Amino acid sequence: MKVLVTGAAGQLGYDVCLEIGSEAVGIDIAELDITDKPAVYAYIKDLRPDAVVHCAAYTAVDKAESEPKKCHAINTLGTRYLAEAAREADAKFLYISTDYVFGGTLDRPYETDDAPNPLGVYGRTKLEGEEAVRSAVEKFFIVRSSWVFGINGGNFVKTMLRLRRERGEVSVVADQFGSPTYTRDLAKLIAVIIRSEKYGVYHATNEGFCSWYDFALGIFRSAGIDVSVKPLTTDEYPTAAVRPKNSRLSNKSLTDAGFELLPTWQDALTRFVADLQSS
């Protein structure tokens, strides 16, 4: 089974390639500009993959507010071109989406069939990407995840550890909630899903919920570091893009389809910090 993996230089794409192994063909912007429609069609026609795992995305949430056209080109148009080309190649298509397609106003974890309501450019373009996949491909998987962290690239865990080295105190938002997700665990699940024919929409995160503040405390605890962490409200930490306060995703869709749930975020974080320290 030949699997094309986009965004192979990013956190998730990197781990997906490692997990799939020799069957993976990993590409990034250096190999293919996914906003170039003719190039996308030609590449997939020549490669003839059995499946596409689309991890590439514009993920600079705040910067997207000032670069909406670029964000749209990558997240919406690029996804549409890849999906249409995959359909022509009769390939399965797995699209990585995000908790940001939701507005964060519910008082419970979001289910896959809850109505999306993105708050900013990033979430809106990712939702448009979902819609492009649904309309272009019959054999599709949409996998929404949240708060991802991995070895290959920048993330909240690495940022917290860096800030601790630079400062004596760290301030973190305490009224936004979600599920931290280790890309290595998510990649293992993706490798299983892509080999199945259980098409549809899934939420996939490490088990359990926390605030960014709780996450930061867990990071320093896992690293054996004593540091003062100050809780902030969202209003005290304004950003260009509005974040959903409730990013909790229900993983019931995985259980319903017979897939194994990911380990708890605390377990994942402990393993990730150990990997960081050993490297």
Could you list the active site residues? 122
Quote the tokens at residue 145.
Answer: 């995840």
**Closest C-alpha among 25, 1, 265 to residue 145:** 265
d(CA 45, CA 202): 28
What are the structure tokens assigned to 64, written together?
Answer: 């997207």
- Give the number of other Cβ atoms within 10 Å of residue 46's Cβ: 8
Structure-block tokens of residue 162: 């860096």
Q: Bin 258: left if φ > 0, else alpha if -120 < ψ < 50, else beta.
A: left
How many residues are listed for the chain in this entry? 279
Tokens representing residue 12 in the block: 């998730």
Q: How do the residues of the chain divide into helix, strand and coil, expressed in percent and rounded to 5?
A: 45, 20, 35
User: Which of 227, 235, 239 is closest to 170 using CA atoms?
Assistant: 227
